[in-house]
Structure 1
């Protein structure tokens, strides 16, 4: 009888999600009740007491077009602002993106004729709850712990929000790990040139919502991994390709019928038509990865009008050519980030992960960048990350990850006081050892008789503070009045293995000390809200119709 690990591995994806578990000798990817190993990351609220997830939510979207949520991972941990509004317009989501009141982005849908605001964490928790139940039915006992994966280039706020989603779903999140790191574990790349002491891997993770590139070093004949560098594009994925196809076929539909669906008045009818077109375009993308020609045929797409059109792979590649050229940029940046830099020829193997990596043109571009190197596709790209998360949960493998972006604080710019410098404390790609990483830097006061110091924290590599991502701030008060530079302020930054940041400030020769777990200053959920959403989630689980 199998002895299943008490912690499952979950890939909470933008478009599809997956759960797996280790049984002591191997990993089992757990099929849902329809027999599929992956589940659509969809949530639907047919009425005020029901929540449907997965395929059931996807199906319900044909009837409740204003009550469905998908792509919530694109919003999790993000602030409400221009970037998310641009995503909403480009991807033609059926829901509105709104400010949830604390500066964070939230989702507004319509349930039973009334507006309902759902946080991305709450939507993610719905998917996690469903996967938790799928795992429980397979294992035969309650599942309370999980390792959850995130894109390597997720920032601190996005990681915290993912952890909150797990808690709302009733899971103790044992660890947040980077998706490419999990994928490398899944591929089990211990074979190859046995004479080589070390092997350099490039994990190319092109999923539904993001692109991650991670360079890893594996010790010869072992499963000990060390991340050397990571880069990515958090706004480039398969859904962006789908959106490009949707725009194209909206134009074709208008030419064929004279009907401007894109410009039509907002209504459930329009949302249903756009959803039907989006799903057809997603399938066309898959078809053109296997065939050189395919078509879209949608009877009565809008009103009585039908869309019927063909597309060749060559036309498809031309339509998305600019998007695919963008995949080179994170690859080259990751190579440059390795200490001492790295050349393409130094990479021994390229691991392909994520459904979008199946696109032939993507593989062609990577093949030209890494000639005579294997593009490894031995594991289903849609399942590799969950498999790796389950392996990590087993504690059978040793892995050293890195800080994806530099972390620093604002410091004075005496030439232009309005443009503070960003002084880096933890450089990008710093290794995170098993017990976490801690770095302390010292700074002098910038003014005579200064009695307080604002510690402002940022993430990024830009020279000026405001050009980076602002993470949080706190103040040290009660400094003794001294001439400029005579009081030394120490700022310590700590990163745990989940990549989550804590910052402490203190003043030399005093008892003054202040710290911040950055989550408290970034519009993230309070404990009170998390507890309330946990209760609501339990109520939905008791009454909701399960998705297939």
Structure 2
């Protein structure tokens, strides 16, 4: 009896399968199988979890940190610097060289005129502006301040979001070696300079007919966006290989801002984040981020700090003073921690927008200049002064630090210049010799026409040079306590130190006098605390 058609078809299919012949598959079934496999892989590799990004967008240095499963990691970034201030861009000329990048990125960007049409998209040039290239960010750009002062932009945070008529803008413009000009609104147009602030980039480093040499107008938001984008990419590169293979990108970030930032400055910061590629941005006030980093909300619990370090308040609210001395500004805030909601309320703030670590550098350089009799820095040009400032900063870190590491007893600054003329010779080189090599040979190398002069510095010289600054450094503390409701130093539960400037022993000693010997919290590196708190503050 012949087989039925259905039975014959089934037998044929069985024979084809046995022979290895591929059977047709409905596309919907195939797609469902692929989706299921991808879902299983994502779940198994834990690729769907949220990782938060926090950024401390600082005046002089910026830091990024990620928080994944409750663990905060500070991002290592190319062009960053080490905790001791050494440049980590692979150049060992200053004795601090290294490879792999550092944790704090100098907020410095170097621009150059575009000489030829770009054939490929550069990592740091994602926009369509054809007038300039960004050739360096971070330490490499900071190194160029001495050789290209008109094209290396720094301290953009000082003027971001400010109007041209703001007195702060005029003061900053006088101190910056690059040109600060007016602009229209939020644009970057040389032909429509009106009420905003921008930087004019020029090929020449003198002041004569500078408008003829301007090749681009760059806004503070654009400079900040370049720094933020650099940190964003470094954070994405720090993710696991599997997440990078799937094209993981940070769509949002928590960025810190000073308490005194107004609406315009906060809006400008958000615009900079949008230019950097963030779809959404959360802002957190810097002192709040610092307090979170130190575990004072009783939630932070990782390798950087432990909630066990926080003394129980027994249900009472705690008063916290956050002292933030950065590279360019001083901010002091008095916070109250609500014991029920575990949130911080800002009770009073004060600060000095013109006091930071750079001011201590300038004061120390002034002292050095006063001790030079045969060499002149003033007659050597802006480039030489920038190099001298860099070496003074290194000397300050070596002999004045009160935070971790080894503090040197002395440092020698050696200036050399061409001799033979009347009066002090203009300096042509400067080098730093620490206490263990200060007796080394002169950089003159035996040239009879090269004159060298040494200035030996000690920790006491920092105090001597900075006496007026140290007095200014404590005034905002008293002002903030008064504005918080006439709070006395004895009522304060915790004092948190933030910012690289708080490493100075002289600053710590003055704060110790104000708070009558109370322990100053520095368990989290002052230079990293705000970024850590920003990363920890949201969904982590």
**TM-score, normalised on structure 2?**
0.66
Q: What is the CA–CA distance in structure 1 between the aligned matches of 2:457 and 2:315, rounded to whole Å?
A: 46
Residue 441 of structure 2 is matched in structure 1 by none
Pair 305,14 (structure 1): closer, same or farther in 2 beyond 3 Å: farther
Q: What is the CA–CA distance in structure 1 between the aligned matches of 2:235 and 2:46, rounded to whole Å?
A: 14
Q: Is the 8 A contact 1:198 1:220 kept in 2?
A: yes
Which of the residues 490, 506, 531 maps onto 1:361? 506
Residue 147 of structure 1 is matched in structure 2 by 254
Per-residue deviation, 1:328: 2.0
Q: Decide which structure has greater strand share.
A: 1
Structure 1 gaps, min length 5:
265-269, 397-548
Pair 215,2 (structure 1): closer, same or farther in 2 beyond 3 Å: farther
Q: What is the CA–CA distance in structure 1 between the aligned matches of 2:276 and 2:171, rounded to whole Å?
A: 29
Residue 229 of structure 2 is matched in structure 1 by 129
Residue-by-residue CA offset, 1:271-304 (whole Å, 9 max, x unaligned): 3212211111221221222334322235554276
Per-residue deviation, 1:250: 3.9
Structure 2 gaps, min length 5:
1-44, 79-99, 115-131, 184-192, 206-212, 299-309, 402-406, 418-426, 430-449
Q: Is the 8 A contact 1:205 1:354 kept in 2?
A: yes
Pair 298,44 (structure 1): closer, same or farther in 2 beyond 3 Å: farther
Larger Rg: 2
* Structure 1 segment 42-61 matched on structure 2, within 5 A: 42-48=108-114, 49-51=132-134, 52-61=136-145
Which of the residues 145, 170, 191 maps onto 2:277? 170
- Secondary structure at the counterpart of residue 56 of structure 1: helix
**TM-score, normalised on structure 1?**
0.65
Per-residue deviation, 1:86: 2.8
- Secondary structure at the counterpart of residue 240 of structure 1: helix
Residue-by-residue CA offset, 1:330-364 (whole Å, 9 max, x unaligned): 1111111224x211111011000001011112111
Residue 84 of structure 1 is matched in structure 2 by 169
Residue-by-residue CA offset, 1:116-152 (whole Å, 9 max, x unaligned): 3221111111111110111111123212211111111
Per-residue deviation, 1:322: 0.9
Which of the residues 295, 302, 323 maps onto 1:204? 323
Residue 336 of structure 2 is matched in structure 1 by 217
- Secondary structure at the counterpart of residue 45 of structure 1: strand
- Name the stretch that deviates more: 382-391 or 286-295: 286-295
Q: Is the 8 A contact 1:188 1:223 kept in 2?
A: no
Q: How many residues align?
A: 384
Q: What is the CA–CA distance in structure 2 between the aligned matches of 1:359 and 1:126, rounded to whole Å?
A: 30
Per-residue deviation, 1:84: 3.0
> What CA RMSD, in Å, does the superposition of the two structures yield over aligned residues?
2.4
- Name the stretch that deviates more: 227-236 or 119-128: 227-236
Residue-by-residue CA offset, 1:57-101 (whole Å, 9 max, x unaligned): 123445434311111112212233553333344x4x321222222
- The reply to whether residue 64 of structure 1 matches residue 148 of structure 2 is yes
Per-residue deviation, 1:226: 2.4
- Name the stretch that deviates more: 306-315 or 367-376: 306-315
Q: What is the CA–CA distance in structure 2 between the aligned matches of 1:378 and 1:193, rounded to whole Å?
A: 18
Q: Is the 8 A contact 2:145 2:152 kept in 1?
A: yes
- Secondary structure at the counterpart of residue 335 of structure 1: helix
Per-residue deviation, 1:161: 1.6
Q: Is the 8 A contact 2:290 2:530 kept in 1?
A: yes
Q: Is the 8 A contact 1:9 1:21 kept in 2?
A: yes
Residue 285 of structure 1 is matched in structure 2 by 396
Residue-by-residue CA offset, 1:395-436 (whole Å, 9 max, x unaligned): x5xxxxxxxxxxxxxxxxxxxxxxxxxxxxxxxxxxxxxxxx
Which of the residues 457, 462, 475 maps onto 1:311? 457
Q: Is the 8 A contact 2:415 2:453 kept in 1?
A: yes
Which of the residues 374, 394, 408 maps onto 1:256? 374
Which of the residues 418, 425, 428 maps onto 1:302? 428
Q: What is the CA–CA distance in structure 1 between the aligned matches of 2:52 and 2:452, rounded to whole Å?
A: 49
* Structure 1 segment 188-199 matched on structure 2, within 5 A: 188-189=295-296, 190=298, 191-195=310-314, 197-199=316-318
Q: What is the CA–CA distance in structure 1 between the aligned matches of 2:103 and 2:355, rounded to whole Å?
A: 24
- Secondary structure at the counterpart of residue 326 of structure 1: helix
